[in-house]
């Protein structure tokens, strides 16, 4: 373990649980431990009421209605429910799924699995900014397309996709829009109705909530979207996903959404100040460059190529600064990021790129400590 202060700049991988969230959850482990499906006594009623409130809070961050929210165990599970469910339901009439090459592995790997079942998966290219060509999208979506799968914000670069326009194109051909909003909620305003999203996937641990809880939004009106049962059993979550509800986790997710929604603007401007300060130093003193669009990105994420410092070789000396070289689930691999490679970086640029992702608990002192570290390794070189 490194000595001294550890600086956490890996908030797109996961976040510290907010104390207010933890306090909201605790009574549901001990005092109010009822099963939310127990309809005959106050223990059950109390748990069901807590889930009801959490459903409203979670709906609110997406500008959805509570009836459109189903709790799951993760965004990965929500993505599986969406893709596998729509494919099973539509495959006799439609067979194609259009997906952006820089989607999270939860989407890519599920699509590759569907390909093995006979689905046609079209992977959309991105440009150097990480953005798709909307004309290409218009050409590949057709009346055989089940869904276009596009993330609101990319987890590695923070790049924001024009979901409203993507949805407009998809809907012209009767295709659904599945949107992974995992990294966007709590960082930018997300309105699934306004954007025309049909299914959205979210996770609690990216916004100061607990791990092991997620949700899926399924549109109820204009059009009503239905999904087949994903987990069979006691019929919980309106028969979509059976299993006793994780009440403390769900309460935590709801609270985390409520706090994030109320403070959206404050957190965003606080994080973008820190990000700007970091980029100013690293880009001017260390010849770093930003990977991805500078105009359309999350306020907290900075993916920087630090080739000039040959940072990959020095990363082991950086263990007191928690950053990432890709998505958390693949950053242990030595392979360059599929996102950066899809954006046209060469292998050397990709492996010398680092994702810094700020969170609401970071301060300017963290930025100073990081920039001091980079100044030091430059001097030592």
Residues that bind ligand PLP (CB under 6 A): 74-76, 104, 106, 151, 155, 180, 182-183, 203, 214, 327-328
* Rounded least distance, CB 180 to ligand PLP, Å: 5
* Rounded least distance, CB 212 to ligand PLP, Å: 8
Is 329 noted as a catalytic residue in this protein? Answer: yes
The Cα–Cα gap between 102 and 293 comes to 14
Cβ-based nearer residue to ligand PLP, 246 or 309: 246
Which residue of the set 179, 201, 257, 329 is catalytic?
329
* Rounded least distance, CB 178 to ligand PLP, Å: 12
> In 3D, which of 163, 133, 157, 169 has the Cα closest to residue 62?
163
* Rounded least distance, CB 154 to ligand PLP, Å: 7
Cβ-based nearer residue to ligand PLP, 104 or 312: 104
Cβ-based nearer residue to ligand PLP, 167 or 309: 167
Classify residue 190 as left (phi > 0), alpha (psi -120 to 50) or beta: beta
Classify residue 176 as left (phi > 0), alpha (psi -120 to 50) or beta: beta
Strand segments (E) across the chain = 7-8, 69-72, 96-100, 120-124, 145-149, 176-180, 199-203, 214-218, 289-290, 301-305, 321-322, 353-357
- Classify 60 as helix, strand or coil: helix
The Cα–Cα gap between 286 and 371 comes to 10
| Residues with active-site annotation | 329
């Amino acid at each position: 373990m490194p000595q001294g202060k550890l600086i956490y700049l890996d908030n797109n991988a996961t976040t510290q649980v907010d104390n207010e969230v933890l306090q909201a959850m605790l009574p549901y482990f001990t005092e109010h431990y009822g099963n939310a499906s127990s309809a005959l006594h106050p223990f059950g009623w109390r748990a069901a009421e807590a889930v009801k409130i959490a459903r409203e809070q979670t709906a609110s961050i997406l500008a959805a209605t509570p009836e459109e929210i189903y709790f799951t165990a993760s965004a990965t599970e929500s993505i599986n429910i969406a893709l596998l469910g729509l494919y099973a339901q539509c495959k006799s009439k439609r067979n194609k799924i259009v997906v952006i090459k820089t989607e999270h592995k939860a989407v890519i790997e599920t699509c590759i699995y569907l390909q093995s079942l006979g689905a046609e998966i079209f992977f959309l290219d991105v440009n150097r900014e990480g953005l798709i060509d909307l004309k290409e999208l218009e050409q590949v979506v057709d009346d055989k397309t089940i869904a276009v799968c596009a993330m609101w914000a990319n987890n590695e670069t923070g790049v924001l996709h024009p979901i409203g326009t993507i949805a407009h194109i998809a809907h012209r051909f009767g295709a659904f829009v599945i949107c992974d909003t995992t990294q966007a909620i709590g960082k930018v305003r997300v309105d699934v109705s306004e954007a025309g999203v049909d299914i959205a996937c979210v996770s609690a641990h990216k916004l100061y909530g607990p791990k092991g809880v997620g949700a899926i939004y399924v549109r109820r009106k204009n059009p009503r979207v239905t999904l087949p049962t994903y987990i069979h059993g006691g019929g919980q979550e309106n028969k979509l996903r059976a299993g006793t509800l994780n009440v403390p986790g769900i309460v935590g997710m709801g609270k985390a959404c409520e706090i994030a929604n109320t403070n959206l603007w404050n957190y965003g401007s606080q994080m973008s100040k820190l990000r700007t300060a970091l980029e100013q130093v690293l880009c001017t003193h260390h010849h770093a460059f930003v990977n991805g669009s500078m105009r359309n990105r999350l306020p907290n994420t900075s993916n920087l190529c630090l080739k000039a410092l040959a940072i990959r070789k020095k990363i082991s000396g950086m263990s007191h600064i928690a950053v990432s070289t890709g998505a958390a689930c693949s950053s242990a691999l030595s392979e360059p990021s599929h996102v950066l490679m899809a954006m046209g970086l060469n292998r050397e640029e990709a492996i010398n790129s680092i994702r810094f992702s700020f969170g609401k608990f970071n301060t300017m002192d963290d930025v100073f400590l990081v920039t001091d570290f980079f100044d030091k390794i430059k001097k030592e070189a």
